[in-house]
Amino acid sequence: MPNIRHTPTAPTRAQHLAAGARIDAHRHDDHQIVYAGSGVLAVTTDTGTWFAPGTRAIWVPAGTVHSHRAHGHLDLHLVGLPADDNPLGLDAPTVLAVGPLLRELIRAYTRDPADDSPERHRLLAVLRDQLRASPRQPLRLPTPTDPRLAAVCALVHTDPADPRTLAALGAATGTSERTLSRCGWSSASAFIDVFRRSFGYTPGTHNRRSP
């Protein structure tokens, strides 16, 4: 990832990102919890991409070079933790389940980053406890190692709205449609079932929720 920005302290804040908006590659000396209350957030490193809808958050360890991308309008919440404060004991990006209590704790804690009151410190202590109890979710797409697949993925990543068919994308990268479709879903219902079990709702519901 070129032009890597280094921000020593991971910011704690709430912000909005428009659909398709990006935050370029950067790294922090702190850990960071990234949560999107709406839309779907994608965090990409050199080893893969992690996805999180409103029922998930992404743990980004200190020092990890990563970028963000918004799929749909994002109501983004960022929580920074010092490098020596790792309640999860994780050294790689990880998707975590976010229940109603943890969701509200993250929203409340990021509402006023300048607040240094004892009440807000207690809020962070409860937030850390909830993090430790959060189940981990395998919502990651590894970076493809096959150069043919990597080329097609690069085209789609650059423009997710690219209307070209799989055959046309394959032709643009010198790859056959048959090769690209080997890992496809056996049916639409199979995809819907996996999507629902992973995100908690169907693709149709997601489309209605994301502007």
Q: Tell me the CATH number at 10.
A: 2.60.120.810
Domain boundary among 140, 163, 197: 140
36 shares its domain with 134: yes
Specify the higher pLDDT residue, 155 or 87: 87
Q: Do 76 and 123 lie in a common domain?
A: yes
pLDDT of the residue at 64:
93
Name the band, by pLDDT with cuts 50, 70 and 90, for residue 126.
very high
**In the chain, beta strands by DSSP E:** 5-7, 13-17, 22-28, 31-36, 40-45, 48-52, 56-60, 66-71, 74-81, 94-97, 136-137, 140-142
Cross-sheet strand order for the sheet of 56-60 = 13-17, 74-81, 31-36, 56-60, 94-97, 136-137
Report pLDDT for 207: 60
Reference 3, options 36, 27, 31; nearest CA is 27
Q: Kindly report, residue by residue over 59-105, the tens digit of the pLDDT.
A: 999 999 999 989 888 899 999 999 999 988 888 899 898 999 999 99
37 shares a domain with 90: yes
CA–CA separation, 103 and 99 (whole Å): 6
The domain of 123 spans 5-140
- The answer to whether residues 104 and 57 belong to one domain is yes
* Helical (H) or strand (E) element with 167: helix 166-173
User: How many Å apart are CA 135 and CA 118, to the nearest integer?
Assistant: 28
Number of domains within the chain: 2
Q: Are residues 165 and 74 in the same domain?
A: no
Q: Are residues 133 and 200 in the same domain?
A: no
Q: Are residues 62 and 153 in the same domain?
A: no
User: Cα separation of 186 and 198, whole Å?
Assistant: 18
Shared-domain flag, residues 198 and 109: no
**151 in the same domain as 134:** no
Same domain, 124 and 196: no
Nearest to 40, CA basis, from 185, 139, 155: 139
Q: What is the pLDDT of residues 19-42, one digit of tens each?
A: 889 889 999 999 999 999 888 888
